[in-house]
Amino acid sequence: MRIFSGIQPTGRKHLGNYIGAIRQYVHLQDEGDPAIYCVVDLHATTIAYEPAELRRQLYDTTAILLASGLDPARCILFRQSDIPQHTELTWMLAATATAHGDLNRMTQFKEKSAVQRELVSAGLFFYPVLMAADILAYGTDLVPVGDDQRQHLELAREIASKFNSRFSDTFIVPEGRIPDVGARIMDLQNPDKKMSTTASTEAGTIFVLDEPKAIEKKIKSAVTDSGSEVRRGEGKAGISNLIEILAVVKGVSMERIETEFADSRYGDFKTAVAQAVVEYLAPVQAKYAELRDDEAELEAILADGAAKASAIAAPIVAAARDKMGLGRPVA
Ligand code: AMP
Ligand code: TRP
């Protein structure tokens, strides 16, 4: 089973990214044949950015992935812009298998374009086509992502099917893998909105690299709901979010958390969540500190990943080109 996922090198990675996506990447790396993980710097250029900052964040994100447990000996870890097939296939898919109307319906495009101060670029509109190209160029069977990528994934499946029916079977139609618990971690200050790099509040977002004190403060000041019982339910978005976080971090069910804290007050519960999250992230932070400064080593890992990625993507994209009637015919 071939596994592929991508993560943006924008901003600081948060607990939502960790729980919804990175945790899955690590679990799945031995099930992939191979498991392929891509830091999607081309996607990051679709909104305002600084080139030097992009490179720094590329290293930050790579180091976080390695610190979280991705092992370059057991998976392929590479940088999107190192492989020209991603951009080439984006055009091919956009031109022949992507409906303009489908792109127009993408909710992330609507959300992101609404908050752009300067340029709403055509690249931002094409973002889901580039994501489809990432996935399809590797003959991917399974795509681990968080809940917010559901619509993009559905479009990638649609694009693969359209291409296949027009030019004969070329691409595998991928399945998504969205975790049952932890696929949508909410902003601690505004639990009706997902935790995110750009849209959520600073105080409501736990970053993977936050100091223990900051984590404690954010969790202790998390918005809770009226009532005093630690259980999920109507009008209890804040507490439900904390229950979900604690369940994932402890590796137990949400029911188990509710039973365990049935007689606790919100304050004690929050203290337990804070402590568990601090302990959960501590080993990642320690490993990150060891890895981050050696940029030459990070580059070496990415270069090795790019060589392996290229060997997979090049023949798949070449076959698609040939079917489209582009270039010299393949004998
Ligand atoms: P991004 O940082 O936008 O590249 O997202 C990387 C991965 O994290 C994607 O698979 C997202 O679906 C996932 N993700 C982002 N925000 C959250 C969240 N609040 N809860 C769970 N997963 C998330
Ligand atoms: N769009 C995804 C996000 O914002 C990142 C991404 C790019 C991706 N290419 C991908 C995810 C391919 C899965 C597969 O999180």
CB of 19 within 8 A of CB of 51? Answer: no
CATH number assigned to the domain comprising residue 309:
3.40.50.620
CATH number assigned to the domain comprising residue 233:
1.10.240.10
Predicted pLDDT of residue 13: 95
Q: 308 and 264, same structural domain?
A: no
Q: 168 and 154, same structural domain?
A: yes
Question: How far away, in angstroms, is 15 Cα from ligand 1 center?
Answer: 9
Q: 269 and 309, same structural domain?
A: no
CB of 152 within 8 A of CB of 128? Answer: yes
Q: Which domain holds residue 270?
A: 212-289
Does residue 198 belong to any structural domain of this protein? Answer: no
Question: How far away, in angstroms, is 17 Cα from ligand 1 center?
Answer: 4
Q: 124 and 15, same structural domain?
A: yes
Token output for 142: 């399974």
Residues 6 or more apart whose CB falls under 8 angstroms from that of 104 comprise none
Q: 156 and 24, same structural domain?
A: yes
Predicted pLDDT of residue 171: 98
Structural domain tally of the chain? 2
Q: 148 and 15, same structural domain?
A: yes
Question: How far away, in angstroms, is 149 Cα from ligand 1 center?
Answer: 8
Query: Residues enclosing ligand 1, CB less than 6 A?
Result: 7-8, 16-17, 19-21, 145-146, 148-149, 183-185, 194-196
Mark the ranges of the chain whose per-residue pLDDT is less than 50: none
Predicted pLDDT of residue 232: 93
Does residue 192 belong to any structural domain of this protein? Answer: no
Smallest CA separation from ligand 2 atom 6, residue? 6
The tens digit of pLDDT for each residue in 264-290 reads 999 999 999 999 999 999 999 999 999
Which atom of ligand 2 approaches the CA of 131 most closely?
Answer: 9
Does residue 54 belong to any structural domain of this protein? Answer: yes
Which of 134, 177, 184 has the most ligand 2 atoms within 8 A of CB, as the residue to mutate? 134
Q: 250 and 316, same structural domain?
A: no
Three-state SS string over the chain comes to: CCEEEEECCCCCCEHHHHHHHHHHHHHHCCCCCCEEEEECHHHHCCCCCCHHHHHHHHHHHHHHHHHHCCCCCCCEEEEHHHCCHHHHHHHHHHHHHCCHHHHHCCHHHHHHHHHCCCCCCHHHHHHHHHHHHHHHCCCCCEEECCHHHHHHHHHHHHHHHHHHHHHCCCCCCCEEECCCCCCCCECCCCCCCECCCCCCCCCCCCECCCCHHHHHHHHHCCCCCCCCCCCCCCCCHHHHHHHHHHHHHHCCCHHHHHHHCCCCCHHHHHHHHHHHHHHHHHHHHHHHHHHCCCHHHHHHHHHHHHHHHHHHHHHHHHHHHHHCCCCCCCC
Q: 117 and 50, same structural domain?
A: yes
Predicted pLDDT of residue 35: 98
Does residue 155 belong to any structural domain of this protein? Answer: yes
Question: How far away, in angstroms, is 30 Cα from ligand 2 center?
Answer: 21
Which of 148, 154, 180, 245 has the most ligand 1 atoms within 8 A of CB, as the residue to mutate? 148
Predicted pLDDT of residue 10: 79
10 CB less than 6 Å from ligand 2? no
Q: 147 and 38, same structural domain?
A: yes
Does residue 197 belong to any structural domain of this protein? Answer: no
Q: 172 and 261, same structural domain?
A: no
Token output for 148: 């917010």
Whole-number Å distance between alpha carbons of 230 and 239: 7
Q: 263 and 153, same structural domain?
A: no
Does residue 330 belong to any structural domain of this protein? Answer: no
Token output for 301: 């890992």
Smallest CA separation from ligand 1 atom 11, residue? 146
Whole-number Å distance between alpha carbons of 15 and 210: 10
Smallest CA separation from ligand 1 atom 22, residue? 20
Predicted pLDDT of residue 128: 98
Does residue 328 belong to any structural domain of this protein? Answer: no
Q: 233 and 88, same structural domain?
A: no
Question: How far away, in angstroms, is 16 Cα from ligand 1 center?
Answer: 6
Residues 6 or more apart whose CB falls under 8 angstroms from that of 241 comprise 185, 186, 188, 191, 222
Neighbours of 177 (CB within 10 A): 16
Predicted pLDDT of residue 116: 84
Whole-number Å distance between alpha carbons of 182 and 75: 23
Does residue 183 belong to any structural domain of this protein? Answer: no
43 CB less than 6 Å from ligand 2? yes
CB of 238 within 8 A of CB of 231? Answer: no
Rg (CA), the chain: 21
